[in-house]
């Protein structure tokens, strides 16, 4: 991550955008700029640069930060410019690093430099590992020569030991250097890490071996065999480095989702300026600009379509796999893909305001959040390393005190080293966050944005889902469910009704037109359209007088309802339909039953939730009958009808009072209090227009299957975390006593430090790999 | 128990006492934030096997900028977590990474490395 520029009030850097540079003025207006200074090594350097800048004419104030290598300069733009400031710094003997940072504040920066540094560090780690392995492969067989007495009799033991020493020193100083440096640095801050354990463990083995090599007689005089542990030292370092190599490879994959999201943004946009098409870098695009998008191109940023229409693939943002039809007036979003047509749009948002940037920010924040489940692991890791050191010292003392005199020093030493090496605080630390990172990233891929780890953890425990009816289960727009023509009705009744309704803008009229189109009714022309406010409409179609509306309209127009239609109307009303009555030339001809249509996906999602043992409850402002009808359609038995908006949170409480863990699904705007009251709030958005900050989990498309995905994902993630924590705790709880030799009195088992190193190297990788399994998650 | 055992036992117990005191009881390095002209409280923290200073005092309600200079490329310190503010950030080796947040409430907030071993505290007053 590059240094950010938050302290800058009107930063300009070397702004290439002609439109953005504020006009130079001399009316005492100062500008602030941040310079990246190179070459400062100490506090006196920064003081020097600061003085040089302050004395430059036109500069009103300058502060230089050594740690961040930044100079914040306030200056009068009429008297000096960026080039002048740069010259002043260069005159003082330092260089100004031209800001390569993105110039549009907050544009998503995929940090190439950070990536490059990480790649270099990884290469180095690999080299250090290779050297350690290469040397350990020589040291190991040499140390085993004593297994062949015939061979040993020809080789001088002291010479062999010196050879081994010579081979081990590079492993320590080159491959293992980091452990010692880091341990030392940590001790200076009274911090102990895994490096401390490795440094102390291998250091002790090495120093003991060094002593037995240099002064073997000292040991012989005390009745001890001057054994060396060079193979142990080298092998431990090689194995731990192996663990680190594997770990660093796996860890890079945990944050892959965010990188993929950032990588989605377009690099350039085709602006229309003065009737000309110009390709400009994305950073230069400003709200209000007009952008042209051709088929197959990426939409550069967020905006509203001015002209043209197309189908857009928005799956990268919403998880919706089908392209979305868009036309003039519809919003488009940066990073989505234009499929079929060309269109022009007016830019409404750039940089951090865009949908993509908001998604990235949300996912990043979720990945930085802490899950309550890891509290214990956190408490343990805080004291883990010092406690292991205490255990290791105690192990040494006990073995020294109880073992046979000739064996006590080597046994104490070997077990001391084994305890230090087997302990793995990393597995404990990695158990939760890596799973959260993979889980939240995976959610974003399917349009399920998880706000923080806590929401994920709560979703795991949900046993009741409360759905707000309108807009979640149903489309929120009426549809014709029943068409009941009278026996005497002419064959083209539906076509005539549609011709009349086409003239109207009433939502019910639209439903009739849609239905007629679905039934492939003929298209007729209507003339003399007349709206009857609050009752219906009339017009002349194919020479006859057509009438459609409510019962009152028919009564007013003195149209009688034949018994068959009367009966059908009663039946429809019982099913909670809104009934439309139609007449042609004063004769009642048909009834239409209209109702809010249930989304096809709702039924499937609800069945899925029920199959997972979750009770689904509906809540709606509609009357008892309508609510019952919708509930029956989607297979729900429990519902709350006639709920006023302010009563929604109360219903959530009611369910919670029954001891349920409630997930509330709503649109995030009208039911914010209910979402907040629920254990987990899921805001469901139509398209990408959704209040993301309103709820613990945001579903990027109006599809209840997102609720299933969110709950399934949370269940899998938390299950993974539990496995990880269980493994990490068990590993340490069993491994440390085993290494200390508690089984020795009973079974004679001791753990070789080399095996301890292998176990330790694999333990954190196992946890990481387990977390990465979540990448295989697919919504059902 | 011979003299060697006695010496080792005494030394061991002494060392254990020292380790306990050194990591748990000894006082920590504390730094108070310096407010810049723009009203942002800035603290420079060096990351090298740990955080120094590892206790940072800031005032409530004013934006804070922690400038972490990572003076090593040891992978242990490559991530920085400030979970109470939902922050997880990668620290580039030998570079300064600024982390900004607004402390709305008084209290002690932990910042740690990616694995929760290296630790520091932000004390909001």
CB A195 within 8 A of CB B74: yes
CB atoms near residue A676 (< 10 Å): 14
- pLDDT tens-digit map of A147-168: 777 777 778 888 889 999 999 9
Instruction: Say if strands B79-82 and A95-97 run parallel, antiparallel, or are unpaired.
Output: unpaired
With beta carbons less than 8 A apart as the criterion, state whether A291 and A298 touch.
Answer: no
Residue-wise pLDDT for A93-119, tens only, equals 777 875 433 333 344 555 677 778 788
Q: Per residue in B77-94, pLDDT tens?
A: 888 999 888 888 888 888
Residue-level pLDDT at A10 = 36
Q: What is the chain A residue with the closest CA to B52? A: A189
A394/B23 Cβ within 8 A: no
Q: Which of A65-69, A245-249, A647-651, B23-27 has the lowest mean pLDDT?
A: A65-69
Mean pLDDT of A314-332: 87
CA distance A750 to A731: 16
CB nearest A3 (choices: B42, B74, B97)? B97
- C-alpha span between B48 and A693 (Å, rounded): 36
Say which residue the tokens 């067989």 belong to. A141
Of B9, B24, B100, the CB nearest to A397: B9
CB-nearest partner of B51 from A189, A248, A384: A189
Residues from chain A contacting residue B5 (CB–CB below 8 Å): 400-401
Kindly tell me if the per-residue pLDDT of A8 is higher than 50: no
Confidence category of residue A11, pLDDT binned at 50, 70, 90: very low
Residue of A nearest to B72 (CA): A182
What fold, for B28-124? Immunoglobulin-like (2.60.40)
Cβ of B49 within 8 Å of Cβ of A188? The answer is yes
Quick check: A49 pLDDT over 70?
yes
The closest of A742, A766, A732 to A387, measured between CA atoms, is A732
d(C-alpha A146, C-alpha A144), whole Å = 5
pLDDT reported for residue A45: 65
Q: Could you tell me how far CA B27 lies from the centroid of its own chain?
A: 13
Give the per-residue pLDDT at A36.
77
B23 contact residues in A (CB cutoff 8 A): 190-192, 385-386
**Cβ A114–B92 below 8 Å, yes or no?**
yes
pLDDT, one tens digit per residue, over A375-390 is: 888 888 888 999 999 9
At A692 the pLDDT is 66
Whether residue A37 is predicted with pLDDT greater than 60 in this model: the reply is yes
Report the chain B residue with the minimal C-alpha distance to residue A452.
B86
Active site residues of A: 468
A6 band by pLDDT with thresholds 50, 70 and 90:
very low
> Is 0.90 topped by the overall pTM?
no
What pLDDT, on the 0 to 100 scale, is given for residue A214? Answer: 93
**Comparing A81-90, A177-186, A242-251, which segment has the lowest mean pLDDT?**
A81-90
ipTM of this complex > 0.90?
no
3-state secondary structure of A414: helix
d(CA B59, CA A134): 54
Query: What is the pLDDT confidence band of residue A571, given thresholds at 50, 70 and 90?
Result: confident
Contact check, Cβ <8 Å, A9/B38: yes
pLDDT for residue B68 is more than 60: yes
In chain B, where the domains are located: 28-124
pLDDT at A607: 93
For A190, which of B1, B28, B93 is closest by C-beta distance? B28
**Residue A19: is it exposed, middle or buried by C-beta count within 10 angstroms (0-12/13-18/19+)?**
exposed
Q: With bands split at pLDDT 50, 70 and 90, how would you rate the model's confidence at A582?
A: very high
Distance to chain B for A281, nearest Cα, Å: 26
Show Cβ contacts of residue A23 under 8 Å, excluding neighbours closer than 6 positions.
Answer: none
Smallest CA–CA distance from A8 into chain B, residue: B38
| pLDDT single digits (tens) A268-281 | 899 998 888 899 88
pLDDT in tens, A460-518: 999 999 998 766 787 767 888 889 998 888 888 999 999 998 888 787 888 899 899 88
The model's pLDDT over A611-637, given as tens digits with 9 standing for 90+, comes to: 999 999 998 887 788 788 888 888 899
Judged by a CB distance cut-off of 8 A, whether residue A393 touches chain B is: yes
In this prediction, residue A609 has a pLDDT band, given cuts at 50, 70 and 90, of: very high
Residue in this structure with the two tokens 């055992």, named with its chain if needed: B5
For residue A273, give the 3-state DSSP assignment: strand
A-B CB pairs within 8 A amount to 197
Mean pLDDT of chain A: 84
Percentage of chain A with pLDDT > 90?
Answer: 36
Determine the pLDDT at residue A690: 54
3-state helix/strand/coil string of A533-588: CCCEEEEEECCEEEEEECHHHHHHCCCCCCHHHHHHHHHHHHCCCEEEEEEECCEE
Question: Average pLDDT for residues A431-448, to the nearest whole number?
Answer: 92
Q: Using a CB-CB distance cutoff of 8 angstroms, which residues of chain B are in contact with residue A433?
A: 81, 88, 114
What pLDDT score was predicted for residue A9? 36
């Amino acid at each position: 991550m590059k240094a950010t520029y938050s302290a800058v009030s009107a930063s300009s850097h070397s702004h290439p955008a002609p439109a953005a540079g504020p006009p130079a003025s001399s009316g005492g207006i100062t500008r602030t700029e941040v310079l990246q200074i190179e070459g400062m090594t100490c506090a006196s350097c920064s003081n020097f640069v600061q003085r040089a800048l302050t004395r430059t004419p036109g500069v009103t104030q300058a502060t230089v930060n050594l740690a961040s290598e930044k100079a914040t300069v306030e200056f009068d733009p009429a008297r000096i410019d960026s080039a002048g400031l740069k010259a002043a710094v260069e005159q003082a003997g330092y260089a100004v690093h031209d800001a390569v940072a993105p110039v549009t504040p907050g544009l998503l920066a995929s940090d190439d430099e950070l990536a490059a540094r990480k790649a270099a560090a990884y290469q180095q780690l690999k080299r250090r590992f290779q050297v350690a392995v290469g040397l350990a492969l020589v040291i190991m067989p040499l140390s085993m020569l004593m297994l062949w007495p015939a061979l040993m009799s020809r080789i001088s033991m002291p010479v062999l030991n010196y050879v081994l020493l010579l081979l081990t020193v590079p492993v320590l100083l080159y491959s293992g250097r980091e452990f010692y440096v880091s341990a030392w640095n940590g001790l200076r801050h009274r911090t102990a890490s895994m490096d401390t354990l490795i440094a102390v463990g291998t250091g002790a083995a090495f120093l003991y071996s060094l002593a037995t090599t240099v002064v073997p007689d000292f040991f012989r005089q005390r009745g001890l065999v001057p054994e060396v542990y060079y193979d142990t030292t080298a092998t431990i370092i090689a194995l731990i480095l192996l663990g680190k190599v594997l770990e660093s490879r796996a860890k890079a994959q945990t944050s892959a989702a965010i990188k993929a999201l950032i990588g989605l943004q377009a690099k350039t946009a085709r602006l229309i300026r003065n009737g000309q098409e110009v390709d400009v870098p994305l950073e230069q695009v400003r709200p209000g600009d007009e952008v042209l998008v051709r088929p197959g191109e990426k939409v550069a940023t967020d905006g509203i379509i001015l002209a043209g229409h197309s189908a857009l693939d928005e799956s990268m943002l919403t998880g919706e796999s089908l392209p979305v039809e868009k036309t003039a007036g519809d919003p488009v979003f940066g990073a989505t893909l234009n499929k079929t047509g060309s269109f022009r749009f007016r830019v409404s948002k750039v940089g951090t305001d865009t949908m993509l940037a908001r998604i990235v920010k949300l996912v990043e924040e979720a990945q930085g959040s802490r899950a309550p489940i890891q509290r214990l692991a956190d408490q343990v890791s805080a004291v883990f390393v010092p406690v292991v050191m205490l255990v290791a010292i105690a192990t040494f003392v006990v073995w020294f005190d109880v073992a046979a005199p000739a064996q006590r020093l080597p046994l104490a030493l070997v077990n001391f080293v084994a305890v230090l090496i087997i302990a793995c605080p990393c597995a404990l630390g990695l158990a939760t966050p890596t799973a959260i990172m993979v889980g939240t990233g995976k959610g974003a891929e399917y349009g399920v944005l998880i706000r923080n780890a806590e929401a994920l953890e709560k979703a795991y425990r949900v046993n009741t889902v409360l759905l707000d009816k309108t807009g979640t289960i149903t489309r929120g727009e009426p549809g014709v469910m029943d068409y009941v023509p009278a026996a005497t009705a002419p064959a083209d009744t539906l076509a005539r009704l549609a011709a009349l309704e086409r003239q109207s803008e009433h939502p019910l009229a639209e439903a009739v037109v849609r239905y007629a189109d679905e039934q492939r009714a003929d298209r007729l022309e209507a003339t003399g359209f007349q709206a009857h406010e609050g009752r219906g409409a009339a017009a002349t179609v194919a020479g006859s007088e057509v009438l459609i509306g409510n019962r009152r309209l028919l009564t007013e127009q003195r149209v009688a309802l034949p018994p068959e239609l009367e009966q059908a109307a009663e039946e429809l009303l019982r099913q909670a339909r809104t009934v439309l009555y139609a007449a042609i030339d004063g004769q009642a001809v048909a009834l239409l039953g209209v109702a809010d249509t249930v989304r096809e996906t709702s039924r499937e999602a609800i069945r899925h939730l029920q199959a997972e043992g979750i009770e689904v409850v509906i809540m709606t402002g509609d009357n008892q009958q309508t609510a019952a009808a919708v509930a029956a359609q989607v297979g729900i038995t429990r519902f709350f009808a006639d709920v006023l908006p302010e009563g929604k949170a109360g219903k959530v409480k009611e369910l919670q009072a029954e001891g349920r863990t409630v997930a509330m699904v709503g649109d995030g705007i009208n039911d914010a209090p209910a979402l907040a009251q629920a254990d987990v709030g899921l805001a469901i958005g139509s398209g990408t227009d959704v209040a993301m900050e309103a709820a613990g989990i945001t579903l990027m498309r109006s599809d209840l299957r997102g609720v299933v995905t969110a709950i399934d994902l949370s269940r899998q993630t938390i299950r993974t975390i539990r496995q990880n924590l269980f493994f990490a705790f068990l590993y340490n709880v069993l491994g440390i006593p085993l290494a200390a030799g508690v089984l020795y009195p009973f079974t004679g088992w001791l753990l070789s430090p080399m095996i301890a190193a292998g176990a330790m190297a694999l333990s954190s990788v196992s946890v990481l790999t387990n977390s990465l399994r979540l990448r295989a998650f697919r919504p059902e | 128990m011979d003299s060697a055992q006695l010496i080792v036992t005494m030394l061991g117990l002494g060392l254990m006492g020292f380790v306990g005191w050194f990591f748990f009881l000894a006082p920590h390095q504390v730094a108070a934030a310096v407010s810049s002209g723009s009203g942002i409280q800035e603290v420079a923290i060096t990351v090298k096997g740990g955080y120094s200073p590892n206790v940072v005092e800031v005032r409530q309600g004013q934006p804070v900028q922690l400038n972490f200079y990572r003076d090593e490329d040891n992978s242990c310190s490559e991530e920085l977590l400030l979970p109470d503010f939902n922050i997880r950030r990668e620290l580039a080796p030998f570079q300064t990474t600024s982390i900004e947040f607004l402390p709305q409430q008084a209290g002690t907030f932990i910042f740690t490395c990616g694995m929760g071993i290296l630790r520091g505290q932000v004390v909001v007053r």
